[in-house]
Amino acid sequence: DVLEQIRVSLSECSIRSEMDSASESDSNSIDGLSAALLPPSPQTRDQFQKRIDSLQQQNRVLKIELETYRLRIKALQEENRMLRQNSVSIQIRAEEEEEYISNTLMKKIQELKKEKESLAHHYESEEECLTNDLSRKLSRLQQEKCKLEQVLEQEQECVVNRLTRKIEKLEAETLAKQLKLEQLRREKVELENTLEQEQENLVNKLWKQMDKLEAEKRSLQIQLDQPCPDSSPK
């Protein structure tokens, strides 16, 4: 932006210089014409004088503006120089800060790298310990599993043998009870037959006794109905 302003100012100064040159040329031309021509009238002379005064006034104004622009250019050049110095200082400070940050980051990276290596070594040791511990536990569990399987197999065999013996015993008892039940059934049938036969014999015997008693009763009744031989009429 400063360089652009300087460039614009220089362009304006160039234009003003060309205008000054043109003004001076006009003045010289007027002077030459005045000398070459006949003496002008007072009115024409006043007009020329006013024109000359106006051009001289414009020339003075342009010179003042030119000096102002020169001072402004000088101030801008000084400001540009200060800005360059500040830019150099800022660049140097930025480079120093960048170097400081870079060194700090490098130190931090080195520390993190060492910490990472330490953690990796620690984790490797922990992992090795855990692996060994788990291997020992797994081996012990496998041994215990084998022992338990053997014990379970033995106990299962004992239980099977015990249950087999119990089943055989129950089957034998069941068979004995079935045989005894069959015997009891036969004895029941025989007893029923015996009771039925005895009952029939008893009924027959009772009937015979009743028949005998009936016969004796009739005999006694006949005897009672007959008159006594020793009795005489009166």
Q: What is the pLDDT of residues 141-152, one digit of tens each?
A: 999 999 998 988
Residue 34 CB partners (closer than 8 Å, separation 6+): 40, 48
> Is 226 part of any domain?
no
Provide mean pLDDT across the span 121-142: 89
> Is 85 part of any domain?
yes
> Is 89 part of any domain?
yes
**Report field, pTM of the whole predicted structure over 0.85:** no
> Is 187 part of any domain?
no
> Is 145 part of any domain?
no
Structural domain for 33, as ranges? 2-105
3 state SS of 37: coil
Q: What is the pLDDT of residue 11?
A: 60
> Is 175 part of any domain?
no
Total domain count, the chain: 1
> Is 189 part of any domain?
no
3 state SS of 67: helix
Token pair 């797994």: residue: 138
> Is 9 part of any domain?
yes
Q: What is the pLDDT of residue 166?
A: 92
Whether the pLDDT of residue 192 is over 50: the answer is yes
